[in-house]
Chain A
């Protein structure tokens, strides 16, 4: 064949069938022997189909092969898990929600010394009107109390169903024992080999040839596999040895979190006994349940955990470890004691916003401190978990609308605006280091309905403090944002809920020129008068100090005094352990109909 043109240069970069076939046709243009390659019925065209299909097939196969070789591009779970294994990362299994309870047994007539509570004794709790089982992962003993009852305290119970499996080892190299159930909660896995208990290890620093340890991995089928040592790093499973495993399988995973009421669902020792179950002190609900780790989570976590080397040193380490190991965490802020105000060296402060509720219970804090952090942080550093402080935003909204543009009533529009603000709070706020952006909220309100023409938000910051009745106390209220003070002698920007001070009811806090006063509106004259100077206010740093204040009672009967202040700027920032929050009760909305309101009443600054 005579190849005299440039068309005989075969393009090899194409991967699609049609492009490959076009490249082959272009190549054939350089010869004169076969002229019919362009016609779909020609034999040469059919031959080109075969060639192009084969090339396309190989191209796809190679592309797939290359993709699956790298964690970033792999799509099969087995590939991602295998690559994560090289980084020493075992994907998290489904975990049952757990909580500690106190079990009290009464009506015990046969006078036993104590009452054992067997492993996997069933307790029941209702979740979404369905009854689910919680089990204790280890044997507990209820001991006799002075009142004749028997009590087991701090018994961990975990959501799930109990399973056991038995295997006989063949003694072959790298022998794997697959756990049949895909949803095994590996935290509850108990392994016996030849009648001896074996412990799970991830690190081999202290493993010897006789260590009774087993390793855990996720297999290619997606099921977990256990395997033993090779007589170098742990004892080997010899031929004929029996391996017995037991484990829980969680039915609910994350959905099991939040259970508060538990009952015994099984007889303990005697059917005549009355069993009552209550949450242990420091526990308010079941927590820690989570679903099986997803492929995308493995892809992002494995390299990070590898970089972490299972240690918590920097603030990012703490954050990553807590978010990964404790499912209840919504947002975390960590800072060293040296950055604290006042500084406390040798401590690391961790503020945690839980997914549900405002603060963690003492039991949850202890679990995090002892089970997650103590094992991995530096020896000399003491982790201190503190509750977040909530800085509430009080929104006074005036929303203007054109009633001709929508069939919705004023009340319906008001609900839409309220929902828009609540949605903004859910999406943008209630995390550490967040901003409240006034213009974003007003924009969202304006676009929430076609009839809304304008909106204006007047903002206040609200914090609370708890005075002790009739006890002199000093309080620091930190708004952490500059407060409004345009000139000397400006009117008060501070207000509070009313309280009784010095036998005078309806007292509240006000300010003027940096001084905080207790003021009172006289019920008869309705005149306002300052009763006492009680502290100072730092407008630039947003701090209010109340010194030696003794409050007799709070007028609304609550334990809190709420203090409002007007911020200098329309945007509010959360600092330190502060979380910005908008409560629906702090939103007031005035709807103004453009078509019926005269211009002087239309939305304007006030």
Chain B
């Protein structure tokens, strides 16, 4: 694994480093994962003048929690990452409907371009209202 830092981004929490009091950055894989999460949380028409960017997952979360919806979610996530996150190559994507929890467990395995290590991230999608 290379030690050189290629990707660096702001942390959306804007927390300060406890020692230096400087803004904490997200770096490398963390930055990329952060970017993917942001893309998935953006709905169409949220970005000014660029309605095409985003995934519209929110709308799907209000559909019945079942397999067809999870398939549509999976397609949306794949399309969004392929279209707007060129650093990520998806190796596997699982979207499991969790009826009891009214949400979906998303398990994403991916490669960052020019890296050999497969990375993975997990998050749970549920509607807030």
Binding site for B on A (CB under 8 A): 17-18, 33-36, 39-44, 46-47, 49, 52-53, 56
Contacts and interface: CB of A to CB of B under 8 A. Distances in A.
5 contacts: A34-B8, A39-B85, A40-B47, A41-B84, A49-B47
Interface in B17-42: 25-26, 31, 34-39, 42
B48 A44 contact: no
B9 A34 contact: yes
B49 A43 contact: no
Contacts of A34: 8-10, 25
B87 A39 contact: yes
B10 A47 contact: yes
Contacts of A36: 7-9, 31, 35
The main secondary structure of chain A at its interface with chain B is helix
Contact of A44 (B6, B9, B53, B84): B9
Q: How large is the interface on B (under 10, 10 to 19, 20 to 34, 35 or more residues)?
A: 20 to 34
B11 interface: yes
B12 interface: yes
A44 B39 contact: no
Contacts of B7: 35-36
A41 B35 contact: yes
A40 B80 CA distance: 11
A40 B84 contact: yes
Interface in B55-112: 84-87
A42 B34 contact: yes
Contacts of B26: 43
Nearest to B23: A33
Nearest to A50: B48
A40 B49 contact: no
A43 B49 CA distance: 17
Given A17-B48, A17-B49, A43-B11, A35 B6 contact: yes
B8 A33 contact: yes
A42 B31 CA distance: 8
Contacts of B86: 39
Contacts of B36: 41
Given A36-B31, A36-B35, A43 B10 contact: yes
A44 B49 contact: no
B90 to A, nearest CB: 14
A234 B84 CA distance: 71
The 10 closest A-B pairs by CB, nearest first: A41-B39, A41-B35, A36-B9, A43-B10, A41-B38, A53-B48, A17-B49, A40-B84, A42-B35, A43-B12
Nearest to A37: B9
A43 to B, nearest CB: 4
A534 B48 CA distance: 87
A568 to B, nearest CB: 66
Contacts of A53: 48
Given A18-B49, A43-B10, A44-B10, 10 more contacts: A33-B8, A35-B8, A35-B9, A36-B35, A39-B84, A39-B85, A40-B39, A40-B50, A41-B34, A49-B48
Contacts of B9: 34-36, 42-44
A35 B10 CA distance: 10
Given A35-B7, A36-B9, A41 B47 contact: no
Nearest to A34: B8
Contacts of B39: 40-41
Of A17, A18, A44, A53, chain B has the most CB atoms within 10 Å of the CB of: A44
B53 A40 contact: yes
A49 B48 CA distance: 7
Nearest to A43: B10
Nearest to B86: A39
Contact of B35 (A17, A39, A49): A39
A599 to B, nearest CB: 68
A56 B50 CA distance: 14
A31 to B, nearest CB: 10
A32 to B, nearest CB: 8
A43 B38 contact: yes
Contacts of A47: 10
A47 B48 CA distance: 12
Contacts of B11: 43
A41 B47 CA distance: 10
Contacts of B50: 40
A46 B50 CA distance: 12
A18 B53 CA distance: 14
Contacts of A46: 12, 38
Contacts of A39: 35, 84-87
A40 B87 CA distance: 11
A16 to B, nearest CB: 9
Of B9, B38, B50, chain A has the most CB atoms within 10 Å of the CB of: B9
B14 to A, nearest CB: 9
Contacts of B10: 34, 42-44, 47
Nearest to B53: A40
Contacts of B49: 17-18
Of A17, A34, A52, A56, chain B has the most CB atoms within 10 Å of the CB of: A34
A174 B86 CA distance: 65
A153 to B, nearest CB: 70
